[in-house]
Structure 1
Amino acid sequence: MINKEKTFNLATFFCLYIAQTIPMSFFSTVIPVMMRQENFTLSAIGLLQLIKLPWIVKFLWSPIVDRHTATTGDYKRWIFSSELIYAILIFSVAMLDFKADFYTILTLIIISFVASATQDIATDALAVLSFSRKDKSMVNSMQSMGSFGGSMVGSGVLLLLFHQIGWNSLLPCLAVFVLVMLLPLFFNKGIQITPKLPQQRAKKADVLYFFTQRGIWKQIGFLFLYYSGLIGTLAMVRPWLVDLGYSVQEIGMMSGVAGTFVGFISAFAGGMIIRKIGRWRARILFAVFVLMATLYFLGLSYTQPTTPLLYGGIFLLWGSYGMATIVVYTTAMDCVRQGREGTDFTIQTVITHLSGMIMAILSGRIADMTGYHGLFFFDTCIAITSLVYSLTVLRKENTHNS
């Protein structure tokens, strides 16, 4: 059983993670819509993906956070100051006119994402240090649940509110929400870590030294492979549903709401399963689920799927993804060096983001050349490779670490 103090700690981290995700998800969803309404070109809208760049390159300044944190109070100061800047910038954007001040708004959003990414570095490092090895899967559940829940609210609920009350009324509420999510951390006195020693302070070169650790390339291979098959399918499910004749509203409900909600629930279940059966067995079990999801879509692509069959596939897809993220994040926490927790965890999450971007781009190319049959077959092959990799290359390390 998890005691009350631990439950409060987990809830605190959930609030921190969802505070990052909701504004970012909202901006990523609503700005392309507003740009199209203002007759921006599709090429310009495509370039909007660059606003997420701070989350890809955040490893560059993660050693600075590690170097200037030694106690719980240090981490709290980084988190509070980053979130305060985040909230102020969101509030500032609300005061501007979208069409007249577009480039100013874009600049402020990019800077706000730098602040949010910095909060994430400090939060991840504090999470690594605050929980025992047994409980790391549960705090990673909070991270994934915050991500799934934030995406569901930011790209769904807030999009509806945006159409009702507008840009200038919604964003101040979003800024206040970010600050309110800090309250659990402010009142939580139960998060305690062992202070770092001076010789454990991080250096800029630690980003490179991460890759020189013994056996680390096996983990890097795992990070690239583990749910790459799912990413390809996730990237192409919405276009496939369009080709099957479903409306934008139906697709939003099927994948954006129902699918994301299943991912949210599965992230919690994944943490409980890892805590119960250990990392080694969970890694294999979730890899089997990933393979089942890709096989399911491969089979569907040879039929004229009904709506219930598609819902079943979407639930399996998002459920597998939700659980797989937990084992990825939990094993990433196992591979951090003392005094470099934020740096090492950040590098590993960036690797998964890069892998996802590569797979999403590659999937589009494969689908264009071979159709959906070829795409889902390719995704299945990746899922098989991932399962075999986990059973063979990683077996020795995880037998004694389970």
Structure 2
Amino acid sequence: MIVRPYVEKGGKLFTFFCLYIAQSIPMSFFSTVLPVIMRQQQFSLETIAMLQFLKLPWILKFLWSPAIDRTSHTLGHYKRWIFSAELIYAVIIFAISFLSFQVTPYLIIGLIVMSFVASATQDIATDALAVVSFSKKDKGLVNSMQSMGSFAGAMVGGGVLLLLYNKIGWESLLPFLAIFVIIALIPLVFFRNNQMKIAPKTLAKPHPNDLLGFFKQKGIWKQVIFLFMFYAGIIGILSVLKPMLVDYGYNMKEIGVMSGIVGTSVGFFSSLAGGFIVRLVGRYAARIIFAVLIVVTAIYFYLLVTMFPVNTATLHCGISLLWGTYGLATIIVYTTAMDCVRKGFEGTDFTIQTVITHLSGMIMAVGAGKVATLFGYSGLFKLEICIAALSLIYILVIFRNKNEEKNERRITEQI
């Protein structure tokens, strides 16, 4: 009887791990293979950076997130949204397998955008279900599952599948990927939760205040600015990493191993550790620790291209530091985001906050291509150091002398 609650919690966590990995593998594959192909075909860094706009659905998903909150009264409603979105996701992936990027590039890009709309919808419903399914003390753990699912998806999609693509092409690979997306939903079929806390829904349609109300909360703008700045110190590095490896003479197979497998594996395990770190030291201390690591990562990459010898060993060290720091950073971002949702608007408020991070990342990634083109990789990494340092200073100044737990409790009571 004592063991049963832990088994049930483990089953719930595994369900969310599967949901997050199902949405992330195809996205990681498409996001990884297209930049490599384009760089090998001598596309400019500016043009490759424009691929970030493929993720525009993840920026705009806040527009339809209220519809999911308004129509989700029970666990069955959440399941219906998730199953429907993931089925559409799988069908589009299967359809792309019949097309060639060299022959129909615009059609493929259009289908990829549509598939990202489906995955974004699944993500809204999954995040909302996660918020109402776990207590505050366990939110760090479920966010570890979210981050681990994303990194595992990146490892498979950007590593293993990149190697398979190099051998068999996506016409043979994508059908199996579509099947996997469906299989990953199986744990959700058996998901049961008698402790869900869902606010009653009284309106049938989304209302503009669902979105604007989030920004009207007292003290919320500190969190908004934090979300916009926190990732910016490493997103630019992540966006140019693969093209940089191509410039240093590494082929698709080697890039798949270095970034897609080794790097994301480190991110996977660091995100698991991040959940326990946040639970152990608290939100405030975690913000500072992870922000310092972002500064250190940016400094390392600047030294790598200006002073250190650039070889496989130093690149592996930098890639591991980059992905490990990113994995830790995601946990504090997601955990503090869950702390700031209004009851009854879980999907909307969490989506708004993740959209802020995606928007910041897209702006930084597109800008990184321009900066790297004009000033080289060293110029970009200088800029990243400045942004990361500014983010750290912001955390120290805005949140200093604050009791984090009392602060979070006050915000929770207000919302």
| Residues 141, 271 of structure 1: 8 Å contact kept | yes
Deviation of 1:282 after TM superposition, in Å, equals 1.3
In the TM superposition, 1:52-63 aligns within 5 A as 52-63=55-66
Establish whether residue 361 from structure 1 lines up as the match of residue 366 from structure 2. yes
Q: 2:173 aligns with which of 167, 170, 174?
A: 170
Deviation of 1:345 after TM superposition, in Å, equals 0.8
Q: Distance in 2 between matches of 1:371 and 1:103?
A: 30
| Residues 70, 201 of structure 2: 8 Å contact kept | no
* CA RMSD between the two structures: 2.9
Establish whether residue 342 from structure 1 lines up as the match of residue 382 from structure 2. no
The residue type equivalent to 2:124 in the other structure is I
Deviation of 1:260 after TM superposition, in Å, equals 1.6
Q: 1:24 aligns with which of 27, 33, 37?
A: 27
In the TM superposition, 1:30-45 aligns within 5 A as 30=33
Q: 1:398 aligns with which of 377, 401, 404?
A: 404
Q: 2:320 aligns with which of 272, 290, 315?
A: 315
**Number of the residue aligned with 1:155:** 158
Q: Distance in 1 between matches of 2:99 and 2:254?
A: 33
| Residues 24, 113 of structure 1: 8 Å contact kept | yes
Change (3 A) 1:264 1:81: same
The residue type equivalent to 1:135 in the other structure is D
| Residues 228, 356 of structure 2: 8 Å contact kept | yes
**Number of the residue aligned with 1:207:** 211
| Residues 298, 384 of structure 2: 8 Å contact kept | yes
| Residues 72, 191 of structure 1: 8 Å contact kept | no
| Residues 147, 330 of structure 2: 8 Å contact kept | yes
Gaps of 5+ in 2: 409-415
Change (3 A) 1:188 1:218: same
Q: Distance in 2 between matches of 1:290 and 1:33?
A: 25
Q: Distance in 1 between matches of 2:43 and 2:305?
A: 33
TM-score (norm 2): 0.86
Deviation of 1:279 after TM superposition, in Å, equals 1.1
Q: Distance in 1 between matches of 2:127 and 2:306?
A: 43
Establish whether residue 379 from structure 1 lines up as the match of residue 375 from structure 2. no
Establish whether residue 79 from structure 1 lines up as the match of residue 82 from structure 2. yes
Q: Distance in 1 between matches of 2:169 and 2:255?
A: 24
Deviation of 1:296 after TM superposition, in Å, equals 2.4
**Number of the residue aligned with 1:331:** 336
TM-score (norm 1): 0.89
| Residues 35, 243 of structure 2: 8 Å contact kept | no
Establish whether residue 110 from structure 1 lines up as the match of residue 113 from structure 2. yes
Q: Distance in 1 between matches of 2:16 and 2:373?
A: 41
* Offset from partner CA, 1:311-358 (integer Å, 9 cap, x none): 222222211111011101110111111111111111111111111122
Change (3 A) 1:362 1:258: same
Q: Distance in 2 between matches of 1:157 and 1:335?
A: 36
Q: 1:236 aligns with which of 232, 236, 240?
A: 240
Q: Distance in 2 between matches of 1:301 and 1:397?
A: 41
Change (3 A) 1:244 1:93: closer
Pick which of 290-299 and 381-390 moved more: 290-299
In the TM superposition, 1:84-163 aligns within 5 A as 84-95=87-98, 104-163=107-166
Q: Distance in 1 between matches of 2:113 and 2:302?
A: 39
| Residues 274, 327 of structure 1: 8 Å contact kept | yes
Change (3 A) 1:110 1:296: closer
**Number of the residue aligned with 2:196:** 193
Deviation of 1:292 after TM superposition, in Å, equals 1.8
